[in-house]
Amino acid sequence: MSAIYILWLRQLKRYFRSRARMIGSLGQPVMFLIALGFGFGPIFEKAGGGDYIQFLAPGVIAMGILFTAMFMGIEIIWDKQFGFLKETLVAPVSRMSIMIGRTLGGATVALAQGVIVFLIAWAIGFRPSFAMIFVAFIFMFLIAMLFTGIGTAIASVMDDMQGFPLVTNFLVMPLFFLSGSLFPLAGLPPAIEVIARLDPLSYGIDGLRGALVPGSIHFGFLFDFGVLGVITLIVLGIGAYLFSKIEI
């Protein structure tokens, strides 16, 4: 347990010491909020969709979480190249504890990033309901755990630090754009609807949006939580297995 806590704390310190990294990771979510929120807002409203900022903000909050969570995996490659991971793995601590500590640390950082994006969205006009804010945080944390696990799994089988962002972007961008983060899931063409249902992020964003914007839930809270929770456990299991196979 102490090893998990130490690794969790190390992840937090490493991230929050880098102010440039924190500020830089906010650029894309803020751009989406302002450019899309105000740019497409009048069109969305004329189409009968209501206030687009209210619809868009939960998706952008999830975006801030998933990009931060995924790129936490690059620290594994960094530690491989500079020897810190070897020092960690030879310690009298199980690899499972090491993986759990790193994953929890990465997920906590990603969750904090999501909270910052939430506050920025609130400052520019997003008005959420706070009645189910605890449910919203549960979905935010599940999204963070899921994509930290994916980042860990990918980084565990890679040694190329330059190739990691390319692989993750190839995976993350389709997951984000086809998740219903930018458009409603109701009334989609059949092919896109099937893809959206296969996208695990769809259930995280749907649950998050339903908690923050009453009446906007599409699948249902229990279904969203069940699907996202099961997929997260599967991904964490795969990540743990691949991490345990890292050669030192």
Q: Any idea which of 54-58, 155-159, 222-226 has the lowest mean pLDDT?
A: 155-159
Res 26 pLDDT > 80: no
Pinpoint the alpha helices (H) of 17-94. 19-24, 27-31, 37-39, 41-46, 52-71, 74-82, 84-89
| CB neighbours of residue 173 within 10 Å | 11
Mean pLDDT of 171-189: 87
How far apart CA 13 and CA 124 sit, in angstroms, is 29
Number of domains composing the chain: 1
First to last CA, the chain: 23
Mean pLDDT of 35-40: 82
Domain interval for residue 228 = 2-244
Question: 67 vs 211, which has greater pLDDT?
Answer: 211
pLDDT tens, residue by residue, 90-101: 666 677 777 777
Within 8 A by CB and 6+ apart from 3, the residues are: 91, 93, 97, 98, 101
Within 8 A by CB and 6+ apart from 189, the residues are: none
Q: What is the DSSP letter of 132?
A: T
* pTM, full prediction: 0.88
| CB neighbours of residue 189 within 10 Å | 8
What pLDDT does 199 receive? 92
